[in-house]
Structure 1
Amino acid sequence: MCQSNLWVDIGNSSVDWEIGGCYDSVDIKDFQPNVIPQHQVSTIACVANHQLIRHFSNPTIIQPKPYEGLVFDYNLEQLGVDRFLGLVAGYEKYPEQDFMLVDIGTFITIDYVQNNRHIDGGIAPGLYQLQGCKTFVGDDSQRSWRVGTENMLRDTIEKRCDAFDGKILITGGGQAIVDIKQAEYHQNLVIIGLKEIDGK
């Protein structure tokens, strides 16, 4: 039997979806239309690889828009839909509470919500972007570069988290790089945000 709604997150590096309580993810480079489960309609967040939208049935494309109770410190026409939906998910999970959202993917984004107001914490290169910006001759130097970039990224994220007094939410495909005891880890807050938006 064909399930109804497929929630889809098309990102820079992967396509993720959920249907009927089942979650799956595939790297962009490995994506084939036949991996998509049967569905009647789709609700899609897309920050890149827009050509993939055509493979989904009856798509509704979500864009950032005003959200009741949450004030954005950002031009919503420029805010990435992945960041927007992560903030919606965090706000619905912790209404009236301060939280910090760290999305560790192709890019690292950090966003804060304090007193129901979004505060931009910045965008930075992700681990593979950092590691790919320089190559060394010799395995030892290349290995040292990988270790150094990973340590730098981890230290930066952990320092930001340690300085924050509130809930910390971590999501994204690269979240295993950090082990922050006080944080909550979420497989995909974009899809949770899609479901929140879709339910309103």
Structure 2
Amino acid sequence: MGDKTPLSTLTNVTFVTSKAKFGSFISAYKEPETLGVDRWLAMVAGVHKYPDQNLLVIDAGSALTFDVVLADGKHQGGLIMPGLGVLRAGFDQFTTDSVELKAENLADNTKEAWSFGTSKMLTNTINGQINTYQSMYKNLVVILTGGDAKNIKPLIEGKTHVHQNLVLDGLIVYSGII
């Protein structure tokens, strides 16, 4: 994905592409190269860090993604939704650059109402998806990564493992360094 032309003159560069199989990880996608490489790398790293366990990999960045990988490495598929920044940019007059998430229920002004509302929307969605997948897959390990992971973690119900740089960890696994 993306234009590699400007980088084509560089030497010793490897472009990572999503593959149908890597180690014990097996993509659910019929066209595995269409799976975003960031999601793919996060799952590869998750499988490496938590072998033989059912995983829910949540990446909270520009987009909010959910991917389920079973203990045998088989990806079950995933979801992609707008991330916090995209949600908050939806109405220019309420836009805030804040990445802070708040658990407050009610606000007494429009800007805070927008901030609290988008916080609730995001965290309720995440908690709802976690509950759904935990009811479907036993002993599910929940992994949270991405730019908003640290801010979201305190508002997530239940045990969640934060790995801020899971995509980069996936690059390390892919490169064979570990």
Q: What TM-score bracket applies, with the shorter chain setting the length?
A: 0.7 to 0.9
State whether structure 2 residue 145 is matched by structure 1 residue 171.
Answer: yes
Given the two structures, how large is their TM-score scaled by the length of structure 1?
0.67
Given the two structures, how large is their TM-score scaled by the length of structure 2?
0.75
Task: Note closer, same or farther for the CA distance 1:49–1:109 as it changes in structure 2 (3 Å cut).
Answer: farther
Specify which of 163, 173, 176 is matched with residue 186 of structure 1.
163
More deviation in 124-133 or 154-163? 154-163
Deviation at 1:167, TM superposition (A): 0.6
Q: Superposition pairs for residues 43-54 of structure 1, below 5 Å?
A: none
State whether structure 2 residue 114 is matched by structure 1 residue 145.
Answer: yes
Runs of 5+ unmatched residues, structure 1:
1-46
Which residue of structure 1 lines up, in the alignment, with residue 73 of structure 2?
116
State whether structure 2 residue 13 is matched by structure 1 residue 59.
Answer: yes
1:11-43 CA-partner distances (Å, limit 9, x unpaired): xxxxxxxxxxxxxxxxxxxxxxxxxxxxxxxxx
Which one has more relative contact order, counting CA pairs under 8 Å at least 6 apart?
2
Q: How many residues matched?
A: 153
1:164-195 CA-partner distances (Å, limit 9, x unpaired): 24111110001112323401001211111111
Deviation at 1:52, TM superposition (A): 8.3
Aligned 8 A contact 1:154 1:178 in 2: no
Aligned 8 A contact 2:153 2:160 in 1: no
Identity %: 33
Task: Note closer, same or farther for the CA distance 1:186–1:52 as it changes in structure 2 (3 Å cut).
Answer: farther
Distance in 1, matches of 2:89 and 2:44, equals 32
Question: SS at the partner of 2:78?
Answer: strand
1:134-168 CA-partner distances (Å, limit 9, x unpaired): 1347x932321121011110111012223424111
Which residue of structure 2 lines up, in the alignment, with residue 131 of structure 1?
88
Q: Which amino acid aligns with 1:177?
A: I
Distance in 2, matches of 1:134 and 1:103, equals 24
More deviation in 66-75 or 170-179? 66-75
Specify which of 140, 145, 160 is matched with residue 129 of structure 2.
160
Which residue of structure 1 lines up, in the alignment, with residue 103 of structure 2?
none
Q: CA RMSD in A?
A: 2.6
State whether structure 2 residue 42 is matched by structure 1 residue 73.
Answer: no
Distance in 2, matches of 1:154 and 1:49, equals 34
Distance in 1, matches of 2:125 and 2:147, equals 18
Which residue of structure 1 lines up, in the alignment, with residue 102 of structure 2?
none
Distance in 2, matches of 1:88 and 1:110, equals 14
Q: Which of the pair is proportionally richer in strand?
A: 1
Distance in 1, matches of 2:124 and 2:140, equals 19
Task: Note closer, same or farther for the CA distance 1:53–1:142 as it changes in structure 2 (3 Å cut).
Answer: farther
Q: Which amino acid aligns with 2:85?
A: Y
Q: Superposition pairs for residues 99-110 of structure 1, below 5 Å?
A: 99-110=55-66
Runs of 5+ unmatched residues, structure 2:
97-108
1:108-155 CA-partner distances (Å, limit 9, x unpaired): 010001242102220000111111111347x93232112101111011
Distance in 2, matches of 1:53 and 1:117, equals 33
